[in-house]
Structure 1
Amino acid sequence: MSEVGNSARWLAVSALAKIKDGAYSNLQLNQLINQHSMDRRDINLLTNMVYGVIQHRLTLEYWLKPFVRHPHQLDPWVHELLLSALYQWQYLDKIPKRAVFNETIEIAKVKGHPGIRRFVTGVLHEMDRRGLPDFSTIENPDERLSVTYSMPIWLIEELRRQLGADKMQQLIASLNQPAKQSLRVNAAMTDVAGVMTVLTEEGLDVEASQVSPLGIVVNEGQAINTSAMKYGMFTIQDESAQLVVPALDVQPSDLVLDACAAPGGKTTQIAAALDVDQGGQVVALDIHAPKVRLIGKNAARMNVADRVAATELDARKAEAEFGAAHFDKILVDAPCSGLGLIRRKPEIRYEKSLQDSLNLQKVQLSILTAVAPTLKKGGIMTYSTCTILEQENQQVVKAFLADHPDFELVKTPTANHLKADRPDKTLSIYPDDYLSDGFFIACLRKK
């Protein structure tokens, strides 16, 4: 293969065509990075291009439309090549237009036949000559927002209905900002100051999280490659996700059920608060054996395996397995649409529908209902999701409480008193609030 065929731009186009066909963006990127020897600059360009094109796909399609008469007749890789050229031209200031056009045409020449090279050359020069269409000409306001921020119209409409027009626009605008690299310190081993010192010595630029007392935000450098990561001093976890376990108020001697545990991030956070000598243990469930093994692996890396019982079981069979009034605390970090994670997983925005949320609502409610009898009286059951729609959040809690008068909703606490003046007892963190993931947390106490 020519040098062009190994370039970051060509690999990005190859990855984008596969992702459009259903592959996962993170897996595709990891595979390409492992298969090709690239320096840090090329890895950054590859990652930036793949996520950037996915993130801005609706915007890029809008710009391309006037210049390609029959887009569906194009080879998928040619379509992605043109979108990636547009993305670099419009969003990457440090790359000159000439370099973008030349490399795009060279890729078309190497990968395709002379007709494709002529076609790509013609489209690029026509776009440059005529200029790109302006969003302000789109009459429908929701369609204009959809193209501007590359968000599906149904999500714009639903967020406006639930949160109001101003909050909706602020939220969707924030989702195209880069995701922060955040860590949760392993309280079973060390503290925030200790990890920050170690990471600074390894050349990273870090700061303490304003959201989570156990959180660190990495501004520069890759935490995953450090010795501190290898020795289990921290795990990669979003700041919002770190708020879920403290809401359980885990005591050292508690027996805790983590009902939907894989890959085990929250399991290890629960385990860090337990004392095995006092009988503390977390039973971590997942229905898939490989994921159960992953929980065990993460527990071992974080040096808390002695407090974790990773178990292959559907949470909806918990009562038959463990009996009534068995656990002091229960965490239901429920399967959800993941719309709070759009910044990290940009393709989610195109894959989900409102019907998905309504279908998941039934699953979430069934899990809560199934595990509720296994909680002791006076115990706390925390329900959390990484989505931002009330169908999977407030509506689930309301429906559960309507059917379970023996439970009451108590205010979700946070160590940093986040949104302390909110009227709701539940806690909703939106992606624009602290530029962390969107999360919902509710605490249900058994009377």
Structure 2
Amino acid sequence: MSTVDNPPRWLAVAALAKIKNGAYSNLQLNQLINEHRMDRRDINLLTNMVYGVIQHRLTLEFWLKPFVRHPHQLDPWVRELLLSALYQWQYLDKIPQRAVFNETIEIAKVKGHPGIRRFVTGVLHQMDRSGLPAFDTIEDPDERLSVTYSMPVWLIQELRQQLGATKMEAIIASLNQPAKQSLRVNTALSTVSDVTTALTNDGLTVESSKISPLGLVVTDGQAINTEAMRYGMFTVQDESAQLVVPALNVQPGDQVLDACAAPGGKTTQIAAELDADAGGEVVALDIHANKVRLIGQNAARMHVADRVAATELDARKVQTQFDDESFDRILVDAPCSGLGLMRRKPEIRYEKQLQDSLNLQKIQLAILAAVAPTLKKGGIMTYSTCTILQQENQDVIAKFLADHPEFELQTTPTEQDLKADRTDKTLSIYPDDYLSDGFFIACLRKK
């Protein structure tokens, strides 16, 4: 049986070629896993290769460059084949070099023509004979960091300016570590103890989160394939993201607005705190009809649909449907650059520029300004993003408060008393702090 009949390596190359052309890595992987019958080992190899090549792309391209005169003129699948061979050779210790080279040549032979097979064979053998170029040959220090950690130069420079050189390097080094498989227990239906027992009985290895009291981290096994997941006992959610809703301090009878709600992870977390009999409800907005349906589906799976009103509406137009002082609590989990998610969605690092953050800042401020009048006096509005740049975080809060003196900034609380010695009232979780997603949370009280 040829290597190409054994799908993970070829599927990884095919996926990488599509992702390079604009597909999202997580969606592309899920599609391939659903279409091809693979055991857990093959799924793990496929996932590792796809995320690994994307994470280390600038490093791999640096290593490839001396051996291929015009790498970007290659067919996409041939380029990704060579990069995936480099990734396996340099980063996957358990796969012998000879096996990597042989299987790479086999894919080139079956999927290409004799000329491609000879080309790939020649490149691999030349790499082996000559050795790969060293990072210390790069004179410019920022370019060297960029290639070493596979991060864009602009982001390195921006993080250094905002956080200092030591913190910047700690962040970018941490982002190439694997993302944790983290879950949030659905308190409307279950308990941390019950979910832990259910997953352990299914053969998974589970640890309690050190960040969120409702969080669990799966260190072995796939939680999404379990009966507990299907029944809605938990949902997949990063540990940092789980901190946002508790900061709202939701009460059972509250009227809550989730202004940017899709796909509904935080909506269902809010709903679990509400009591429909006491009048508690969360109005969950999204601008797209298909995403509104997704919110409804997630609410149904999590058994909280009686407390969720999924509504198709641009948050910037909220006052067309809701009166002033309609809500006790408002969550603005704002559209953002997503740079805190680079461990989980590694392609983000190559797609964003600083101007994207500046453009998003205008949208973030517009949403806050639009929803602010609908909050009751004494109510809390929580603003959150999954990015790590101050342009979308601290700067947004400063600008909003300057224009809205009726609001005051409160210290963002956490049940685990995270970063208790911080001087800022806002909470910034960086990817190196707890090896979770980068997140920013600010709590604003209406006087």
Question: Scaled by the length of structure 2, what TM-score is found?
Answer: 0.99
Answering whether residue 285 of structure 2 is matched by residue 278 of structure 1, we say: no
2:362 counterpart residue number:
362
Answering whether residue 252 of structure 2 is matched by residue 249 of structure 1, we say: no
Offset from partner CA, 1:85-142 (integer Å, 9 cap, x none) = 0000000000000000011111111111111111111110000000000001111111
2:45 counterpart residue number:
45
What is the alpha-carbon distance in structure 1 between the residues aligned to residue 278 and residue 113 of structure 2?
71
2:264 counterpart residue number:
264
1:230 counterpart residue number:
230
2:308 counterpart residue number:
308
Shift of 1:73: 2.2
1:62 counterpart residue number:
62
What is the alpha-carbon distance in structure 2 between the residues aligned to residue 73 and residue 408 of structure 1?
55
1:211 counterpart residue number:
211
1:289 counterpart residue number:
289
What is the alpha-carbon distance in structure 2 between the residues aligned to residue 417 and residue 206 of structure 1?
23
Q: Which amino acid aligns with 1:28?
A: Q
1:371 counterpart residue number:
371
Q: Which runs of 5+ in 2 are unaligned?
A: none
2:413 counterpart residue number:
413
What is the alpha-carbon distance in structure 2 between the residues aligned to residue 272 and residue 73 of structure 1?
53
Q: Which runs of 5+ in 1 are unaligned?
A: none
8 A contact 1:5–1:107 mirrored in 2 = no
Q: Which amino acid aligns with 2:51?
A: Y
What is the alpha-carbon distance in structure 2 between the residues aligned to residue 33 and residue 209 of structure 1?
28
1:393 counterpart residue number:
393
What is the alpha-carbon distance in structure 2 between the residues aligned to residue 445 and residue 151 of structure 1?
37
What is the alpha-carbon distance in structure 2 between the residues aligned to residue 21 and residue 317 of structure 1?
34
What is the alpha-carbon distance in structure 1 between the residues aligned to residue 264 and residue 76 of structure 2?
37
Q: Which amino acid aligns with 2:320?
A: A
8 A contact 2:60–2:87 mirrored in 1 = yes
Q: Secondary structure at the match of 1:322?
A: coil
What is the alpha-carbon distance in structure 1 between the residues aligned to residue 401 and residue 264 of structure 2?
28
What is the alpha-carbon distance in structure 1 between the residues aligned to residue 417 and residue 143 of structure 2?
38
What is the alpha-carbon distance in structure 2 between the residues aligned to residue 298 and residue 386 of structure 1?
21
Shift of 1:2: 6.2
Q: Which amino acid aligns with 2:323?
A: G
Rate the CA distance shift 1:423–1:3 in 2: closer, same or farther, 3 A: closer
Q: Secondary structure at the match of 1:167?
A: helix
What is the alpha-carbon distance in structure 2 between the residues aligned to residue 5 and residue 74 of structure 1?
24
Q: Which amino acid aligns with 2:205?
A: D
1:9 counterpart residue number:
9
What is the alpha-carbon distance in structure 2 between the residues aligned to residue 5 and residue 199 of structure 1?
33
Q: Secondary structure at the match of 1:391?
A: helix
8 A contact 2:3–2:107 mirrored in 1 = no
Shift of 1:6: 4.7
1:117 counterpart residue number:
117
Shift of 1:72: 2.4
Q: Secondary structure at the match of 1:173?
A: helix
8 A contact 1:5–1:11 mirrored in 2 = no
Rate the CA distance shift 1:2–1:137 in 2: closer, same or farther, 3 A: closer
Answering whether residue 346 of structure 2 is matched by residue 346 of structure 1, we say: yes
Q: Secondary structure at the match of 2:30?
A: helix
8 A contact 2:3–2:106 mirrored in 1 = no
Q: Which amino acid aligns with 1:363?
A: I
**Where do 1:86-165 residues align within 5 Å?**
86-165=86-165
What is the alpha-carbon distance in structure 2 between the residues aligned to residue 137 and residue 288 of structure 1?
49
8 A contact 2:260–2:285 mirrored in 1 = yes
Q: Secondary structure at the match of 1:211?
A: coil
1:25 counterpart residue number:
25
What is the alpha-carbon distance in structure 2 between the residues aligned to residue 50 and residue 351 of structure 1?
17
What is the alpha-carbon distance in structure 2 between the residues aligned to residue 178 and residue 160 of structure 1?
23
8 A contact 2:3–2:103 mirrored in 1 = no
Offset from partner CA, 1:199-244 (integer Å, 9 cap, x none) = 1111111111110011011111111111111111111000000000
8 A contact 2:89–2:95 mirrored in 1 = yes
Offset from partner CA, 1:389-415 (integer Å, 9 cap, x none) = 000000000000000010000000000
Q: Secondary structure at the match of 1:416?
A: coil
8 A contact 2:2–2:106 mirrored in 1 = no
Shift of 1:335: 0.3
8 A contact 1:333–1:384 mirrored in 2 = yes
8 A contact 1:185–1:195 mirrored in 2 = yes
Shift of 1:5: 4.8
Q: Which amino acid aligns with 1:298?
A: N
What is the alpha-carbon distance in structure 1 between the residues aligned to residue 100 and residue 109 of structure 2?
14
Q: Secondary structure at the match of 1:83?
A: helix
8 A contact 1:59–1:148 mirrored in 2 = yes
Offset from partner CA, 1:131-160 (integer Å, 9 cap, x none) = 000001111111111000000000000000
Q: RMSD of the TM alignment (CA)?
A: 1.0
Q: Secondary structure at the match of 1:30?
A: helix
Q: Secondary structure at the match of 1:436?
A: coil
Shift of 1:7: 2.4
Identity %: 82
1:383 counterpart residue number:
383
What is the alpha-carbon distance in structure 2 between the residues aligned to residue 171 and residue 3 of structure 1?
37
Rate the CA distance shift 1:279–1:300 in 2: closer, same or farther, 3 A: same
Shift of 1:3: 5.5
Q: Which amino acid aligns with 1:31?
A: Q
What is the alpha-carbon distance in structure 1 between the residues aligned to residue 2 and residue 131 of structure 2?
32
8 A contact 1:176–1:343 mirrored in 2 = yes
Q: Secondary structure at the match of 1:283?
A: strand
After the TM superposition, which parts of structure 1 deviate over 4 Å for at least 4 consecutive aligned residues? none
8 A contact 1:6–1:36 mirrored in 2 = no
What is the alpha-carbon distance in structure 2 between the residues aligned to residue 118 and residue 190 of structure 1?
58
Shift of 1:277: 1.1
What is the alpha-carbon distance in structure 2 between the residues aligned to residue 219 and residue 3 of structure 1?
29
What is the alpha-carbon distance in structure 2 between the residues aligned to residue 379 and residue 349 of structure 1?
36
Q: Which amino acid aligns with 2:444?
A: L
Q: Secondary structure at the match of 2:94?
A: coil
